[in-house]
């Protein structure tokens, strides 16, 4: 749509600007302030320069948390994206069953994060959980509170359970926008199932898939509540992801300086990824407009 040039539109945006500035910019400034200062309490601050940043960049603890975080996000994306596409392709196209599927699939998305954690915490327990109980009966040694590998599997399966539907729903919406004529043309050309997917369905899903990947990456990158409730970051530090580590540092130990430096670097990563995404998306929008 052709837009009118009008700088008075700023007045319409002003309320948003004020409220987001209050809840985003001011806190962020506090973080920046902490990151370059040292404090011994009583609101006395000493200039520390980039000390905290240096400390954090070379800190093993941060490296390990970052490593775990990247591994976790990579596994999540590698499972959820293909599975989500596969589910979307298998969903009924219309009618009663399509509605049923939509509603049931959306259900996990709307459960409070800590309840998701609680559900899986209970579900996986060997003594009272369905999953834990049957795994134990099968003779599989499974205990997510002691064994790091089991803890990882539990957290990953939980995330797949929680969020695959998001990818599937977005892909489904993309698939719905494909006119039937495309499929008919493919049938006339005797295209294989794979060709239909590769040359018709996948290009049409590209836009929504991009959003799905971005959202999944971002949300898994800042995951806090679910693993915190299930494993508390343990056993040891094996499921301590970036957010959990950060909260431990800031609220638990009150190491404000390092935590703030950590926050800023964390935020810059987010900013970078958001920017890449935004650029790609606006380019896609433009191409569609042509």
Please give the structure tokens belonging to residue 46: 């000493």
For strands 45-47 and 37-39, give the pairing.
antiparallel
Measured between alpha carbons, how far is 87 from 77 in angstroms, rounded to an integer?
Answer: 15
How many C-beta atoms surround the C-beta of residue 83 within 10 A? 14
Closest C-alpha among 179, 163, 166 to residue 208: 166
| CB of 220 vs other proteins, minimal distance in Å | 11
Q: Is 278 in the site for other proteins (CB under 8 A)?
A: yes
Please give the structure tokens belonging to residue 204: 């049409």
Q: Which is nearer to other proteins, 152 or 217 (CB)?
A: 217
46 φ, ψ (degrees, to nearest 5): -120, 140
* 245-264 positions binding other proteins, by CB under 8 A: 246-247, 250-251, 256, 259, 263
Q: Which is nearer to other proteins, 15 or 41 (CB)?
A: 15
How many C-beta atoms surround the C-beta of residue 13 within 10 A? 9
H/E segment holding residue 37 = strand 37-39
Q: Is 152 in the site for other proteins (CB under 8 A)?
A: no
Q: Is 114 in the site for other proteins (CB under 8 A)?
A: yes
Q: Is 39 in the site for other proteins (CB under 8 A)?
A: no
Please give the structure tokens belonging to residue 263: 């926050």
| Choice from 50, 57, 74, 107 touching other proteins (CB under 8 A) | 107
Do residues 212 and 84 lie in contact, with contact meaning Cβ atoms separated by under 8 Å? yes
Q: Which residue has the tokens 């040359």?
A: 199
* 47-66 positions binding other proteins, by CB under 8 A: none
| CB of 49 vs other proteins, minimal distance in Å | 21
The angle at the Cα of 219, spanning 236 to 143, to the nearest 5 degrees, equals 30
* 204-243 positions binding other proteins, by CB under 8 A: 207-208, 211-212, 215, 218, 221-222, 224-225, 229, 242-243
Question: How many residues are listed for the chain in this entry?
Answer: 290
Q: Which is nearer to other proteins, 146 or 279 (CB)?
A: 279
How many C-beta atoms surround the C-beta of residue 170 within 10 A? 23
Q: Is 15 in the site for other proteins (CB under 8 A)?
A: yes
The count of chain residues that interact with other proteins, using the rule CB under 8 A, is 98
| Choice from 102, 153, 186, 280 touching other proteins (CB under 8 A) | 102
| Choice from 65, 150, 172, 220 touching other proteins (CB under 8 A) | 172
| Choice from 80, 169, 240, 261 touching other proteins (CB under 8 A) | 169
Q: Is 10 in the site for other proteins (CB under 8 A)?
A: yes
């Amino acid at each position: 749509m052709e837009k009118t040039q009008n700088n008075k539109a700023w007045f319409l945006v002003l309320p948003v600007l004020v409220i987001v500035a209050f809840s985003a910019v001011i806190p962020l400034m506090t973080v920046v302030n902490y990151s370059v200062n040292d404090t011994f309490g009583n609101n006395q601050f000493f200039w520390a320069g980039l000390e905290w940043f240096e400390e954090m960049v070379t800190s093993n603890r941060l490296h390990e948390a970052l490593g775990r975080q990247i591994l976790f996000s990579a596994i999540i994306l590698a499972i959820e994206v293909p599975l989500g596409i596969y589910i979307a392709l298998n969903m009924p196209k219309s009618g009663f069953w399509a509605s049923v599927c939509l509603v049931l699939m959306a259900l996990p998305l709307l459960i409070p994060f800590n309840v998701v954690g609680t559900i899986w915490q209970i579900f996986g327990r060997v003594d009272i959980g369905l999953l834990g109980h049957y795994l134990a009966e099968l003779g599989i040694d499974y205990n997510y509170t002691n064994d790091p590998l089991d803890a990882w599997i539990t957290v990953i399966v939980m995330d797949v359970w929680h969020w695959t539907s998001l990818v599937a729903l977005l892909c489904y919406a993309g698939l719905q926008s494909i006119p039937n004529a495309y499929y008919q043309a493919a049938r006339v050309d005797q295209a294989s199932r794979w060709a239909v997917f590769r040359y018709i369905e996948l290009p049409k899903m590209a836009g929504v898939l991009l959003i799905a990947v971005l959202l999944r990456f971002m949300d898994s990158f800042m995951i806090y509540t679910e693993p915190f409730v299930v494993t508390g970051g343990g056993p040891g530090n094996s499921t301590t992801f970036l957010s959990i580590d950060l909260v431990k540092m800031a609220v638990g130990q009150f190491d404000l300086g390092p935590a703030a430096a950590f926050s800023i670097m964390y935020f810059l990563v987010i900013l970078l990824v958001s920017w890449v995404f935004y650029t790609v998306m606006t380019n896609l929008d433009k191409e569609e407009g042509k």
